[in-house]
């Protein structure tokens, strides 16, 4: 699917629809969150805790499969794993320097202070940060947005929309209304990837998609650990690696070409 998308060229039709999959995903998250909030009143705290644990375990499985692709994919090259490692280390250094996780948490806290009612404990910030990462870091996010941007094809993002819609029901039941805010993150992140793919399609070759997926998998592992309350990982600080790793792929390719 990715290779087929990467061979595509722009045409007037998909110039009009390259955001269609993203908009469908946003609507699925909003609808799923609404259903989850309605169901939450009928779900006990014990069941809500179990739902969060289930989501955490599932997130770890998905994240592990993503991270291992750089080692198991037949098309992977030795330097791709180095690009992933370098992208993670340099990316997290930039993320800590820019305090991305703190800023994202502060944004969630800003919403929380304005949307919380009375003295009731709110989990808006936690829900916003957690679901923003879960919904926006994954192979379907990357490949689906690329396919939508390059070819106008919504198939992958339609599949992701269904999965995110179901997940948002569970997240909303467990974490509350803050899940609504992640719809905005989905719109910005997936819309940005689809728009970038539409404008800069020649940059998205298979090695780039592979290393971005692997870095995303490592970041998603951090989300799983947070959901299971095993370790408080500052997940957002890993996100610059999604940009740094592809740059390192280009650097390694240039070095290999220079020295034969």
Question: Is the pLDDT reported for residue 237 higher than 80?
Answer: yes
pLDDT score at 7: 42
> What does the pLDDT look like over 49-89, one tens digit per residue?
787 788 788 878 888 988 898 999 998 998 999 999 999 99
Q: Average pLDDT of the chain?
A: 83
Query: How far apart (Å, rounded) are the C-alpha atoms in residues 16 and 209?
Result: 24
Mean pLDDT within 118-143 = 75
Q: What share of the chain is helix, strand, coil (3-state, %, to 5)?
A: 85, 0, 15
pLDDT score at 43: 72
- Using pLDDT thresholds of 50, 70 and 90, give the confidence band for residue 35: very high
> What does the pLDDT look like over 147-199, one tens digit per residue?
788 778 888 898 889 889 888 988 898 888 889 999 999 999 999 989 888 88
Query: How far apart (Å, rounded) are the C-alpha atoms in residues 38 and 173?
Result: 8
């Amino acid at each position: 699917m990715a290779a087929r998308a990467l061979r595509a060229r722009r045409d007037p039709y998909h110039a009009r629809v390259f955001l269609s999959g993203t908009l469908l995903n946003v609507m699925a998250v909003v609808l799923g969150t609404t259903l989850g909030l309605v169901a939450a009143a009928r779900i006990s705290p014990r069941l809500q805790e179990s739902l969060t644990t289930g989501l955490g375990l599932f997130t770890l499985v998905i994240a592990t499969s993503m991270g291992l692709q750089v080692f198991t994919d037949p098309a992977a090259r030795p330097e791709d794993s180095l690009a992933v490692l370098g992208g993670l280390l340099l990316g997290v250094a930039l993320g800590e320097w820019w305090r991305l996780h703190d800023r994202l948490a502060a944004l969630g806290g800003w919403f929380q202070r304005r949307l919380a009612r009375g003295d009731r404990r709110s989990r808006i910030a936690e829900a916003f940060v957690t679901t923003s990462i879960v919904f926006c870091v994954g192979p379907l996010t990357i490949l689906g947005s690329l396919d939508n941007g390059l070819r106008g094809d919504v198939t992958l993002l339609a599949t992701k929309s269904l999965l995110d819609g179901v997940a948002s029901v569970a997240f909303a039941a467990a974490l509350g209304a803050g899940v609504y805010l992640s719809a905005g993150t989905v719109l910005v992140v997936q819309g940005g990837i689809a728009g970038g793919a539409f404008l800069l399609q020649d940059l998205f070759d298979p090695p780039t998609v592979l290393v971005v997926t692997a870095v995303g998998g490592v970041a998603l592992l951090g989300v799983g650990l947070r959901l299971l309350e095993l370790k408080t990982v500052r997940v957002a600080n890993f996100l610059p690696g999604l940009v740094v790793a592809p740059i390192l792929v280009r650097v390694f390719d240039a070095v290999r070409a220079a020295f034969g």
